[in-house]
Structure 1
Amino acid sequence: MRENMLNGGQVIVDYLIREKVPYAFGLCGHGNIGFIDALYERADEIATISVHHESISGFMADVYYRVSGQPVATFTSCGPGSANMPISLANAYLDSVPFLAITGNVPTSQFNRGAFQELYRHYQADFPSTVRAYCKRVFQPTRGEMVPLAIRQAWKTMVTGRPGPVVLDVPFDIFKEAAAEETPRPEDWTANISCRAGADPEGVERALDMLVSAERPVILVGQGVKYGRATEDLLRLAERLRIPVACSASGQGAIDSRHELNLGLVARNGPYQSNHATRQADVLLALGVRFDDRTSSSWLPGYSFTIPPTRLIHVDIDPDEIGRNYPVALGLMADVRTFLRQLNGALDARGPVAVPEARERWLASIDGWRKEWDAFIEPGFHDDSTPINPQRAARVIDRALPEDAILVSDIGIHHNWLIQFCEPRRPDSLIGSMGFGPMGFGVGGVLGAKLAAPDRPCVSVCGDGAFFMHANVLGTAVEYGLPVVWVVWNNYAYASIRGLQRGYLGGRELATDFRHPETGQPYNPDFAAMARAAGIDGVSVDRADDLGDAIKAAIARNRPCLIDANIGADKNPAGAGVWELPGLGVGRPAIGSRYEPA
């Protein structure tokens, strides 16, 4: 290598540092030691966090961005190492979260020779085919001189338009091959690119006309509002026009749960006031929402939405999402923050605007439905049984957390309880996965949350099934001194799926509960003892009051801690929506019924 030339690994690391990336999360392998060596040289400028399973690095990177807004990088080796990444890549891809996955591959001189861990049966060094469906794009430089172009284009692709993960697949020798005398400068390339596109002015005026004249308007917000940093602009518009705000599961926290205009969750298990309002709205402004099956009660008319006759204004940075599941009265491709600022600006230009008198009657009706819902759910908050009533567990967890805490939920029945009964006050108060939905997201993601917000309490609530899959996180927490708290929602089953077996298959249960072969009793390892064996505080609780006290004590100790909570599995969260499993039927709302427009 010529003097003053940087090799491929050095170019990549230098570019990450120039983009102010604070961490690289990953796992070593023979295919990426050249990259790790480049990280070693710059260890005072970018920190390396080693994990014990590759997918955990992706979950950490995912949640790190959701909390901080800063994309980070992961690194994995060729073959099985990088093959463990598609789960976390797909999760970030479907939730529009960017991170850069740097994957090692076999040396270029060994392409198509069947080297150790090479995928070659269809195409040489064919790892990119493995992940093409799980990310925005794959870049594979095969000469050192291709690395500068690949890294800057990979980063730009990741953060522009609809954000998402990008894979940079680098052959072993390219990490050490001469690449460039200097690294591409982000300030010359990506730093001056803005993707906050606005809607066309005519569309903004049409949207404002529809909202101002509506008698029963609702704003529905998704993840695009939270991670687009549009929450303040949303609140300003809602308060000025007195429009109630409902949230998809991914949009919870975009407006303070205790705000008078907050309707709460729209979903199959959402509360009465939110589902009943959105299905009766005459105008629905949807911001950064995908209208997935869980949010929309499987698209069955009259349960979560009735579109039409509801007139839908759908705003999204990705035009493919507009008109995917519902016809629009007005569809606008725009960044939601820019659009909301346009809308507020247009409202300023009009001067004082009088909203219809029916608007206050609409809000009064919603308040009545809220009271009905509160009375319906109230008994569950007083159940003091053992195992712990899951509704009460969700409320106790929520109330035990300080206002600045970050709660990262895994996937499972507990997630349905949390999104229904937690009351997030901030955009990052409650973080979950609603696209790909992988088990392990919250188990590993909470580590990324803590690195992003070291001064805030970070708690993961995860099912016993998910935690057992990814218990390797205990070691990472100890090694890097990360004082996170895991609350293992222990119900001795893959309970969300067992609930489906009971509800749709007449109780024909198989492969969903955990039992000891000799006693037939519910079985799980002693998770608290497992944590203590790893050097982490571990406690077990089976009463609701003890659960709240244990969470408070764990946060106060400022050490890694696991709380093994014995929580009942025989109840499923009731809601005002439904969910259809085609061929098996449709459930009934637990409160209210299907709305039939007049």
Structure 2
Amino acid sequence: MRQREAVFCASKYREYRVKLAGGQVIAKELRAYGVRYVAGVPGYGNSALLEGLNAPGAGIPFIRVVNEQSAVHMADGYFRACGSAMAVILPSRTGILSATAALSNCLSDSCGVILVTGDRASDDANAAPVSSTQAGAGWDTDLASGGLKQSWKVRGFSELPQAIHSAFNSVLGARPGPVHLEVPLEIQNHTDHVSSESLQNRLAPNRLRGDAAVIEQAAGVLAGAERPILLAGGGVVAADATSELNALAEALSAPVLVAGNGIGAIPHDHDLNAGSVGSMGSACGTALLRKADVVVAVGSRLSDLTGVNGGGRSVSGLAGKKLIQIDVERDEIGKRYPVEVGVVADAKSALVDLKSALNGKLTRATGARRQAFIELMRDLRGQWRSSVASKSGAHETFIRAPRPFLELRKVLHRDAIAVIGSGAVAHIAREHFPVYVPRTFLSAGASVAGGWAVPAAIGAKLAMPARQVVCVVEDSDFLQSMQEMAVSVMHCIPVVFVVFNQSGPEFVSGAVGSPAVRPSIGEFSLPDGRPYSLAFADIARSFGLDAWRVEHASQLEGAFRRALDSTGPALVEVMIARHETDAAIRVGDLQFDAA
């Protein structure tokens, strides 16, 4: 059972009617809804709530971070790793402004975060008194801006349980997202009798089922396809529907493509894994999508499906296809591409129902015709993987950007979690780091420029303490949030940070020599053109981490093993060869016939 669903049915939270302060009520409700950690920044506006976290019966650890945005990033990584919500507490609503980019990323990637802010006093002179008991009079709701899915302001003490319940129903709804609850300080401090019901009486775990007639229609279209493809987005992973996806693919003999956060929906070594599509997609995936006649898109917004043809022109990946779109939100159906059949349903239930509806519809003759498409997929996939391997620098002593991912995959467990920073490293990781288990490749959306990976990795480790967690990040990205390493030391959270120091030896036309004395746009450099580089391993040691600096490829595996064996957090600084022009393979590098 998924951890997010476990909140619905495993809680033994009984009814109570005792006298509590508002901060204690919030803490007890958070714990009852399965919140295990709270991150944030302390201040006068949330002081009573912080006291409530330490009160008997609550006992939720508070993770102090340096800035507001990092707290949201930490909760973001926590949700991606396990599917359960982590809470963020800030002193006042103005903290939302500092965390807007982080919240927007949670909203675009459907990551559930509970944000609670306080304030010195209610700013509404007409607000109901804190002791109000009139149902519905003590709190209000509005559609929020600034990257929030929804926002509430509590105006009466007695409405705290109801407001928190509404917030959790939203954050863990059909499409998760960040929600905000504002609780003025006088309500946090107010003491009164309060009662709450069992969670079983408030939350329903049932999944949204698709209309049976529509499922039958989709099965009929799919049964007649000769070149079907399943396209899995992040909704498949979020719905814990990866086994159902793979079962349908095997029943159909259909290749599976992943888009966006769908990576991990099918294991890298599965025979039907055809790669990825989108701006960070593979040439194999792009070419195969153009060949398909029917595409079943599951849990994907289809917002990033342009490819590159042989002439270098951008083309729509779904042009001329029969599209079966499955999404939990009706508004997403047909939003970007016309559909043959639209199924409004949870990904897990829809995949089960669709496979069941196909029983008796698949003929032996259809399977034989599909075999040619499978062989084409294998051929394209083989070409792609060979090309990727040839650009990895696997047999060179200097370190190209792909090489650390190859060495990491050797030493990490199959279910280890890799948290990948922004920039070119995100593209390179998708090409060179095989993913076998869902929720083990965490990468932020395009809306986050930097600073996400370090706190997100800490959140992922809090969510899955038994898993290895490695954070791979470029130096410029790392500089934006490296101060949060202190959190991993203070709370003994054993994350391994791998920092790409991009001021290594110069790489020009296949040769490596002394660092060039010439400036390059976008690099950190001194006035005379020499690279400006910080000693990240030394900085990490000053924070209290074990740290190593790697300058030769032969040192990578040993350094990674020592870091993973550390009892606490550790850092490996990797000197990456500069000015690589071919470290990452572009979609247009392989020329496939689009006809």
Per the normalisation by structure 2, the TM-score is 0.86
Q: Map 1:478-557; keep pairs closer than 5 Å.
A: 478-492=489-503, 510=521, 512-517=522-527, 519-557=528-566
Rounded Cα–Cα distance in structure 2 between residues aligned with 1:314 and 1:574: 31
**Aligned with residue 173 of structure 2, among 137, 157, 160:** 160
Gap change, CA 1:269 and 1:150, over 3 Å in 2:
closer
The AA in structure 2 aligned to 1:371 is G
Q: CA deviation at 1:216?
A: 0.9
What is the correspondence of 1:378-389 to structure 2 with a 5 Å cutoff? Answer: 378-382=389-393, 384-385=395-396, 388-389=399-400
User: 2:13 corresponds to which residue?
Assistant: none
How many Å separate the matches in 1 of 2:273 and 2:171?
Answer: 33
**Aligned counterparts of 2:189 and 2:240: Cα–Cα separation in 1:** 39
Greater shift in the superposed pair: 102-111 or 59-68: 102-111
**Match status 1:276 vs 2:275:** no
Q: CA separation of 1:435/1:206 partners in 2, compared to 1, >3 Å: closer, same or farther?
A: farther
User: Residues 214 and 356 of structure 1 are in contact (CA less than 8 Å); yes or no, is this contact kept in structure 2?
Assistant: no
Alignment partner of 1:59 is 2:73 = yes
In structure 2, C-alpha distance between the alignment counterparts of 1:229 and 1:140, rounded to whole Å: 33
Kindly indicate whether residue 276 of structure 2 is the aligned counterpart of residue 262 of structure 1.
no
Q: Deviations over 1:406-435 (max 9, x none)?
A: 101111110110011111010022111125
Residue 335 of structure 2 is matched in structure 1 by: 324
Give 1:398 shift: 2.6
Q: Output one character per residue of 1:263-315: Cα deviation in whole Å (capped at 9) or x when no partner.
A: 1121334323211111111001111112223x433999986754331111111
Note the C-alpha offset of 1:548: 2.5
User: 2:189 maps to which residue?
Assistant: 176
Deviation of the 1:217 alpha carbon: 0.9
> What amino acid maps onto 1:189 in structure 2?
R
Q: Which residue of 1 aligns with 2:105?
A: 91
Evaluate the alpha carbon distance shift between residue 138 and residue 215 of structure 1 in structure 2; reply closer, same or farther with a 3 A threshold: same
Measure, in 2, the Cα distance between the counterparts of 1:479 and 1:223.
33
SS of the equivalent of 1:218 reads: strand
Aligned mate of 2:84, from 62, 70, 74: 70
Q: Output the amino acid matched with 1:34.
A: A
Residue 591 of structure 2: aligned partner: 592
Give the alignment's Cα RMSD to 1 decimal: 2.8
Of the structure 1 ranges 79-88 and 521-530, higher mean CA displacement relative to structure 2 is found in 79-88
1:149 alignment partner in structure 2: 162
Distance 2:416 2:434 in 1: 12
Show the 5 A alignment for 1:214-253: 214-253=225-264
Aligned residues: 550
What is the aligned counterpart of 1:17 among 31, 53, 60? 31
Write the deviation string for residues 189-238 of structure 1: whole angstroms up to 9, x where unpaired. 12x253x2122112111211222221111111011001110011111111
Q: CA deviation at 1:397?
A: 2.7
Provide the C-alpha distance between the structure 2 equivalents of 1:7 and 1:83, rounded to a whole number of angstroms. Answer: 28
**Alpha-carbon displacement from aligned partner over 1:4-47 (angstroms, at most 9, x marks no partner):** 43232222111111112111111101110011011111476422
Matched, 1:394 2:405: yes
Question: Which one-letter code corresponds to 1:167 in the other structure?
Answer: H
Name the counterpart of 1:585. Answer: none
Identify the range of structure 1 (84-93 vs 333-342) with the bigger mean alpha-carbon deviation: 84-93
Q: Could you list the per-position Cα deviations for residues 136-160 of structure 1 after superposition, in whole angstroms to 9, with x for gaps in the alignment?
A: 1000112323322211111111111
Provide the residue aligned with 1:297 in structure 2. Answer: 307
**DSSP 3-state at the match of 1:167:** strand
One-letter amino acid matched to 1:591: L
Alpha-carbon contact 1:25-1:57 (below 8 Å) kept: yes
Correspondence for 1:472 = 483
- 1:564 equivalent in structure 2: 573
Q: Is the 8 A contact 1:11 1:179 kept in 2?
A: no
Deviations 1:343-368 (A, max 9, x none): 12223466877634220011111111
Secondary structure, aligned partner of 1:381: coil
| Matching of residue 364 in structure 1 with residue 363 in structure 2 | no
SS in 1 for 2:154: coil
**Aligned: 1:345 with 2:356:** yes
Q: Cα 1:437–1:330, aligned 2, differ >3 Å: closer, same or farther? A: farther
- Structure 2 CA distance for aligned equivalents of residues 42 and 569 of structure 1: 55
Residues 218, 49 of structure 1: alpha-carbon distance in 2 compared, 3 angstrom cutoff = same
Alignment CA distance shift 1:278-1:575 (3 Å): farther
Structure 2 counterpart of 1:117: none
Determine if the alignment matches structure 1 residue 405 to structure 2 residue 416.
yes
Paired with 1:324 and 1:50, the residues of 2 have a C-alpha distance of: 41
Separation in structure 1 between the aligned mates of residue 95 and residue 282 of structure 2, nearest angstrom: 43
For 1:560, the aligned partner's letter is P
Percent identity of equivalent pairs: 29
Q: 1:573 to 1:303 in 2, by over 3 A?
A: farther
Deviates more, 1:523-532 or 1:377-386: 377-386
Unaligned 5+ residue runs, structure 2? 1-16, 127-140, 505-517
